[in-house]
Each structure stands twice: as structure tokens, then as C-alpha cells.
Structure 1
Amino acid sequence: MPRVLRRARALMSSRAARTAALGVLVLPLAACATTIGATPAEDAANPDCAPVMLALPDVLAGDLDKAKTNAQATAAWGEPGAAVTLRCGVTPPGPSPDCQRVESPAGAVDWIVEAGKDGTWRFTTYGREPAVEVVVPPSVTESHSTSFIGDLAQAVSNVPPTAQCT
């Protein structure tokens, strides 16, 4: 075999070895990525959820980074046990005295706002189908205002409103 071909084969095999070694290093790092457990909504497979999910911000409240989730049409920001979670495809709520319009530069979104006895806040879009639910645990509200709900308006507005708060 000519010397040039032997050298080319040797380079290819060492390049293949480097690529394989890199793969061995990358796989464990990927396995360490934090995944937040979430339960998909009843209508999570609704195709109207896709544009919402694609338009979600990478950061909420200035310092809550988007994390991986393990369920369709869900998103989370923060750390496991202390994360804001979002689910698209929840059952649209009916009229409620807890309906509030939240204005933002991206537009207005009507939300049903509920405060749990344990300090958890639940925001569910009103007048949009599929509806989007955002849950904010007390561990987040200890250091953040819930005003970041307005940062979700651009994404949520991908589902057009059919009703408004009265």
C-alpha cells in the first residue's frame, strides 16, 4: 500500500478515535442536565400548543433559566422543587371573579389568578383554547414578584382570544 494511503488511514482512524472519545465525554455531561418532572395537560397534543411552546422566553424574572421538562407541551424555569412550570392544553376555565387582565408590551392576556393556601400561585389563561396554566411555587415568590407573568404574553398570544374578563 502506498505510503500516502497508509498515512491517510492512520489519520482517519485517529480522528475516529478522537470523535469517539469526545462522544464518551459528552454523553455523561448530557445526562447531568437537569430535567424537571411535569404532568402533561389533557390536551397537550393540541397543535395550537406548538407555537406557544416555541415562543416561550429562555429566562423569566431576570434570573430563572429555562430547564428541560419530561412532558409534552410543558416548560419550566428554575430548579427542581423551585421552578415555575407551564402546561399548554389545560381545560379552559369558565368565567371567574378572579379574572385579571395583564398588560405587557407584547399585548394583554386575561388570566384566572388563584392563590393556594400553601403559597402557590396558579395562573390560567381565560378566553383562549387551548388554555395555558402557569404554576409559581412559594419558593419562587419568596424572591420574585409574579409580574413576570406578563413576559409570557407574546407566547400565549399565539392562541387567539375568544372571550375577555368582564
Structure 2
Amino acid sequence: MRLLVAATSGALAAVSLAGCEATVPMVPAADANSVECAQVTVHLPDSIGETETRRETDAQATGAWGEPTTVLLRCGATEPGPTDLPCYTIQGVDWIVDSPENDPQSAILTTYGRSPAVEVIFSTTKLTGANVMEDLADAVGYLPTNGRACTSTEDLP
């Protein structure tokens, strides 16, 4: 997960610098060609937060918002296993939240209990995780569940 964090953080920084490009260059996730990701892609919102509008990308099952880019999404990622990272349920979708140590101005959200997974990296200087999770919940809700779910100490026997 930490390697993904480093690579994705660098990608957000590079895309932010190239904010004036019409199309956002991205690399698709391993399972981006799944039917489930096609459902997510066609239901992505036109905006995230009140100011970040959707932009064109050049890779399948991806999304980008903001000028310069502040949110990047890839559907078809590897499903995460059990983790001690914070996990939140927003509008029926569970999300794992990771904060890159090398980039305190971004965060990574990964769906938990959905197959395939969706990864989202966003700028914490412009948006909150709650905004991003709420605005993407409808689209991500098209992914089938796999039986895993966020748990807390109250869920323990």
C-alpha cells in the first residue's frame, strides 16, 4: 500500500503541474476493463465539492476533477485485504483512508468490500475526504460487494 501511496502522490503532483492540459494523462488499473468499472465510469459526477469539475482522461475507467487536477480516480484496482487503516462508511460505501507520509497535502481513498476496488487520490488542501466520498458514493455504489465491511471495536464479540 505504501508503494502505491508514493507512486500516486507523485502522479497527483505531476498532473497538478500540468493543469492547463485538456486531457489528464493516467494509467489504468489492472482490472479497468471490467463491466463493473464501466458502470462506475458512466455514473461519475460532473463535479466534486463545489468547485472541482470533471476533466477528460486518456485511460479506461479513470476520472479526474479540478483545474489544476485535485482528484484522480482509478477503477479496477486490487481489492485491499484486512487493514488497520481508518475505514469509514459513507452512503453505504466503505472507504479506507491513507495519508501518505511523504505528501501531507494529499490522501488516498480505497473502496473496501467492493469488487473491483476504486482508488482515489485527492488534494487535502482543496477538499475533505467526506466531500470526495459523498460525491463518488453513487457511482461507486454500482460495484458489487464482496462480503467485507468496515468494522469497529463495537463490532467485536
Normalising by structure 1, report the TM-score.
0.72
- Aligned mates of 1:158, 1:99 — CA distance in 2: 23
The answer as to 2:34 corresponding to 1:49 is no
Structure label with greater radius of gyration: 1
Give the corresponding residue for 2:22. Answer: 34
1:123 match: secondary structure: strand
Match of 1:122 among 108, 111, 122: 108
Q: Which runs of 5+ in 1 are unaligned?
A: 1-31
Give the corresponding residue for 1:91. Answer: 78
4+ runs of 1 displaced by more than 6 Å? none
- Aligned mates of 2:38, 2:62 — CA distance in 1: 10
Give the corresponding residue for 1:76. Answer: 64
Normalising by structure 2, report the TM-score.
0.76
Question: What is the one-letter code of the residue matched to 2:73?
Answer: L
Question: What is the one-letter code of the residue matched to 2:98?
Answer: E
The question of whether the paired residues in 2 share the 8 Å contact of 1:101 and 1:108 is answered with no
Once the two structures are TM-superposed, the CA of residue 99 in structure 1 deviates from its matched residue by 4.2
The question of whether the paired residues in 2 share the 8 Å contact of 1:36 and 1:69 is answered with yes
- Aligned mates of 2:67, 2:88 — CA distance in 1: 28
Give the corresponding residue for 1:5. Answer: none
Once the two structures are TM-superposed, the CA of residue 151 in structure 1 deviates from its matched residue by 1.3
Question: What is the one-letter code of the residue matched to 1:51?
Answer: Q
- Aligned mates of 2:64, 2:48 — CA distance in 1: 10
Q: Which runs of 5+ in 2 are unaligned?
A: 1-19, 152-157
1:94 to 1:51, Cα distance in 2 relative to 1, 3 A: same
Give the corresponding residue for 1:14. Answer: none
Once the two structures are TM-superposed, the CA of residue 165 in structure 1 deviates from its matched residue by 1.4
Give the corresponding residue for 1:144. Answer: 127
Q: Going by fraction, where is helix more abundant, 1 or 2?
A: 1
Match of 1:61 among 36, 49, 59: 49
- Aligned mates of 1:34, 1:153 — CA distance in 2: 26
The alignment yields a C-alpha RMSD, in angstroms, of 1.6
What is the aligned residue count? 128
- Aligned mates of 1:144, 1:90 — CA distance in 2: 23
Q: Residue deviations 1:37-68, cap 9 Å, x none?
A: 11100111111101111111101011100000
Higher relative contact order (Cα pairs below 8 Å, separated by 6+ residues)? 2
Question: Equivalences for 1:8-23 in 2 at 5 Å?
Answer: none
Q: Residue deviations 1:77-104, cap 9 Å, x none?
A: 0124x3200000000000112142232x
The answer as to 2:149 corresponding to 1:164 is yes
Question: What is the one-letter code of the residue matched to 1:113?
Answer: V
